[in-house]
Amino acid sequence: MSEAKPLVELCKGVNGLDKIVLREVRGSSAEVYLYGGQVTSWKNDLGEELLFVSSKAIFKPPKAIRGGIPICFPQFSNHGNLEKHGFARNRFWSIDPDPPPFPTATLDKAFVDLILRPSEEDNKTWPNSHEFRLRVTLGPGGDLMLTSRIRNTNTDGKAFSFTFAYHTYFSVSDISEVRIEGLETLDYLDNLHEKERFTEQGDAITFESEVDKVYLSTPNKIAILDHEKKRTFVLRKEGLPDAVVWNPWDKKAKAIADLGDDDYKHMLCVEAAAIEKPITLKPGEEWKGRLELSAVPSSYCSGQLDPQREQAMDAGDI
């Protein structure tokens, strides 16, 4: 019998960057880099990778890592005057030695608490004192949970506003064989048409060309069905009303230096976000944004998921 590996392990990743490996006893795992506070791997108990990371990803600061779950804060994309997607994804985070208690008792053992505090450089471009705490948890069934807590620590009485996204890259077998359920009939801002507002049709969303949309007032549960792999990703979210759907398709993929020409076929970004209405915090106030990802066999259609679980999520018990 080989010795059991630890549930939480700090080790070196690509280019010597520090990463934390989370393991669950049944075999699932996740990896989180301190650079960006970024999840770069999430594997099920069969060892299958569920997140996409570009074949040309550059694990070298100050470049953001292309793939996994980059955190967009305090600005999503170009919705403001900061660098695209803000600075959280290309800063070094620290392991939080003394995280505040979570409101619900948890049986989850495989988790890590990270903290990001602004540097002098950040204070020049975005002069708002804050603390960003992130907990990444691998649940007993292999579910992946990210909880962000952002607090305004300004002492001058000044409120601040921000936009936010978990820029999740899902690994899919073939983008043309994937559909999304849960966003039908909703309004969206189309980034390919200067953020003009449209209304989605009544059918599940499928892909045959470039897509870059921000869906508004979205449900707390979205399903991504991968027909070829007979797998469904279920995205549950809290505190994040919007959902971004992005795939660059072939021409745009060729223009992105750290993305392989054919990578677009095997990735899909569905991002829990707060974009249309920025979050505003007064001094001392805290915002919480939570993402839970699970992967289930596709015999589970999105409408057949456990209703009790949905009620518990809606009640904030999970």
Catalytic residue set: 167, 271
String of DSSP letters for 132-171? EEEEEEE-TTS-EEEEEEEEE--SSS--EEEEEEE--EEE
User: How far apart are the C-alpha atoms of 134 and 37, rounded to whole Å?
Assistant: 8
- Dihedral class, residue 141 (left if φ above 0, else alpha if ψ from -120 to 50, else beta): alpha
H-assigned helices in the chain: 120-125, 249-255, 307-314
DSSP state at residue 25: T
Contacts of the segment 155-158: beta carbons below 8 A, 24+ positions apart? 155/129, 155/283, 156/283, 157/283, 158/128, 158/283
